[in-house]
Amino acid sequence: MKLPNGYIELLQQKRYSENTIKTYSGYFKDFMHYFEGRDLSQIKLQEINDYILALIQSANISGSEQNQRINSIKFYYEKVLGREKQLINIERPRKEKALPDTLSKNEIRLILDNTANIKHKCMLELIYSAGLRRNEVLQMKLKDIDSERMLVKICGGKGRKDRYSLLSKSVLTHLKQYFIAYKPKYWLFEGLNGSQYSSSSITRVLKRSAMKAGIKKRVHLHMLRHSFATHLLEQGTNLRVIQNLLGHESIQTTEIYTHVSNLELTKVVNPIDEIIDNT
């Protein structure tokens, strides 16, 4: 099924990421299929809300997917057709307040110890030590490693914003070993024939290392970023500094790590200990 004229082109002009373009395109094609044979410009707001409700009830889509599907539809009506925003008032899900999954420092160490390949080790170390998203490490170029100032430059992160994060001395040592062994030309981490390393490959690297390390819980790449933020907070790093390192637009996004950190929890005396100790 072909997307409406200008849909892909406008996404590209507005510099949406490749992943977002792929997601919006797929979800909007689903929308088109649902209303096949209809003039999309004539579909009523209530019909769109009924479509989203049908997805929730039949496919049990998550709140995150619901928002992405709504965004793909709003993009067509507001950006491609140029309609005013207030005319496209699609119902949004209540914001989920799930806490981020994290790994302990010991679990991070076990994963790295069970990653023998120097390229794979550097990738995982850099994601954790700089608090990177998966796409950020994959899009990193050789010139983004600033060994003079011990910084990593992240270009075009979420929201198309650039930022700097930390470059660890230990990670720099491993990166130098990797440079000698692999001699990358353009991308910091290259795939076959100098191409950009794939997201599926780096995901498999982490899962394989976690399995070798004997970690039973589900492990995913974003946990390394979550763990970086949580461990910094536990070390007493200022929340504003963590916000800047992660590239969060709002401090409220960063504050979620205060609910995960053990910094204050470890100071709390559980009342049952006093009860049991006195029996």
* Each residue's pLDDT tens digit, 92-127: 666 666 678 899 999 999 999 999 999 999 999 999
Task: Report d(CA 204, CA 31) in Å as an integer.
Answer: 32
Given this model, what pLDDT does residue 192 score? 86
Supply the pTM of this predicted model.
Answer: 0.70
Given this model, what pLDDT does residue 228 score? 93
Task: Report d(CA 235, CA 123) in Å as an integer.
Answer: 24
Given this model, what pLDDT does residue 234 score? 87
Residue 45: pLDDT over 90: no
Query: One of 176, 220, 222, 259 is an active-site residue; which one?
Result: 222
* 105-259: CATH superfamily: Intergrase catalytic core (1.10.443.10)
Active site residue 225: yes
Alpha carbon 212 to its chain's center: 24
Banded model confidence at residue 271, pLDDT cuts 50, 70, 90? low
Specify whether the CB–CB gap between 92 and 64 falls below 8 A. Answer: no
- Residue-range domain boundaries for the chain: 7-87, 105-259
Specify whether the CB–CB gap between 120 and 175 falls below 8 A. Answer: no
Active site residue 94: no
Query: One of 74, 83, 153, 158 is an active-site residue; which one?
Result: 158
Average pLDDT, the chain: 88
Model confidence pLDDT, tens digit, residues 188-207: 999 988 899 999 999 999 99
Q: Mean pLDDT, to the nearest integer, of 1-17?
A: 90
Q: Tell me whether residue 27 is exposed, middle or buried, using C-beta atoms within 10 angstroms of its C-beta: 0 to 12, 13 to 18, 19 or more.
A: buried
| The CATH fold of domain 7-87 | DNA polymerase; domain 1 (1.10.150)
Q: Mean pLDDT, to the nearest integer, of 30-49?
A: 92
Active site residue 248: yes
Task: Report d(CA 199, CA 244) in Å as an integer.
Answer: 25
Q: Mean pLDDT, to the nearest integer, of 172-193?
A: 95
Model confidence pLDDT, tens digit, residues 69-88: 999 999 999 999 988 774 55
Count of beta carbons in the 10 Å neighbourhood of residue 53: 12
Banded model confidence at residue 265, pLDDT cuts 50, 70, 90? low
Model confidence pLDDT, tens digit, residues 117-167: 999 999 999 999 999 999 999 999 999 999 999 999 998 766 668 999 999
Count of beta carbons in the 10 Å neighbourhood of residue 218: 9
Residue 47: pLDDT over 60: yes
Specify whether the CB–CB gap between 100 and 226 falls below 8 A. Answer: yes
Given this model, what pLDDT does residue 179 score? 96
Task: Report d(CA 19, CA 25) in Å as an integer.
Answer: 10
Task: Report d(CA 56, CA 91) in Å as an integer.
Answer: 12
Query: One of 69, 119, 121, 248 is an active-site residue; which one?
Result: 248
Q: Where are the alpha helices (DSSP H) in the chain?
A: 7-13, 18-34, 45-59, 63-74, 105-113, 118-130, 134-138, 169-182, 199-212, 222-234, 239-246, 251-255, 271-277
Full DSSP string of 152-164: EEE-S-GGG--EE
